[in-house]
C-alpha cells in the first residue's frame, strides 16, 4: 500500500506527537514521518473503516483529522505554536522562513491561503498565541517581564510592553497585579 499524508488539527507539542503515533501504531499503521499537524504513514492492509476508527480515537483525545483542502495550514499552525511555546526555538530565525521550510511553498502563497482558509493572517495567529502565552506567564509566574519578552522572541522588552498594551489595554505589570487570567486551549486560540 502507498503511504498517505494525514493532517491532524490540535497537535501542539511533543506529547501530542507521541499520542497520535501510539494511536496509529495500535491501528496497524507504519509511520514514516510525524511532525506537528502532519503524519506520513502507510495504512494497514484491509483498510475498510481504518480512517473512521483512527478519527474516532483521535477525537476521543481532542484531535481532529485536517478538514481543509490545503493540508499545509495545519502544519503552519503547528510551526507557529511550536515557535511561541518552545523556549529553545531560535529568536534569530524569521518565522516566515520556518514556515517556508516546513511546508515547501512560497510564503506569499502560504500567507494568502492561510488567510482565506482561517479568516485571519498568520501574523494575527502568531500574535494571538504570543499574547496567550504572555498572559499565562504573567499570571502564573514571577518571571521578570524582560525574560518574558525574550522567551516570546520580542526584539526588546519595550516592544513586548507596547504590543501587550495594544492587545490587552493595560501594561504587563498591571495585568500581573489584576491576575484575571483564564487559560484557553491552544487549538481554540
Q: Residue 96 phi/psi, 5° resolution?
A: -60, -35
pTM: 0.74
Give the pLDDT confidence of 117-144 residue by residue, as tens digits.
Answer: 889 999 999 999 999 999 999 999 999 9
Q: Residue 173 phi/psi, 5° resolution?
A: -65, -45
> What residue ranges in 100-166 does DSSP mark as E strands?
none
Residue ranges of the chain whose pLDDT lies below 70? 47-48, 67-71, 89
What are the structural domains of the chain?
Answer: 4-65 (3.30.70.100), 72-188 (1.10.10.60)
Amino acid at each position: 500500500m502507498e503511504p498517505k499524508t494525514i493532517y491532524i488539527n490540535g497537535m501542539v507539542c511533543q506529547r501530542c506527537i507521541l499520542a497520535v503515533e501510539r494511536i496509529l501504531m495500535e491501528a496497524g499503521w507504519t509511520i514514516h514521518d510525524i511532525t506537528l499537524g502532519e503524519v506520513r504513514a502507510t495504512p494497514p492492509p484491509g483498510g475498510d473503516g481504518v480512517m473512521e476508527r483512527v478519527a474516532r480515537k483521535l477525537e476521543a483525545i481532542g484531535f481532529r483529522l485536517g478538514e481543509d483542502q490545503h493540508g499545509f495550514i495545519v502544519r503552519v499552525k503547528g510551526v507557529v505554536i511550536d515557535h511561541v511555546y518552545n523556549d529553545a526555538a531560535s529568536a534569530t530565525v524569521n518565522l516566515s522562513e520556518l514556515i517556508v521550510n516546513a511546508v515547501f511553498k512560497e510564503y506569499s502563497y502560504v500567507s494568502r491561503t492561510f488567510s482565506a482558509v482561517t479568516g485571519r493572517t498568520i501574523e494575527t495567529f502568531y500574535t494571538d498565541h504570543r499574547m496567550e502565552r504572555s498572559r499565562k506567564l504573567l499570571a502564573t509566574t514571577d518571571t521578570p517581564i524582560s525574560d518574558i519578552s525574550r522567551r516570546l522572541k520580542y526584539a526588546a522588552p519595550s516592544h513586548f510592553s507596547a504590543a501587550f498594551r495594544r492587545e490587552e489595554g493595560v501594561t504587563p505589570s498591571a495585568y500581573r497585579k489584576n491576575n484575571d487570567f483564564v487559560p484557553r486551549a491552544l487549538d481554540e486560540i
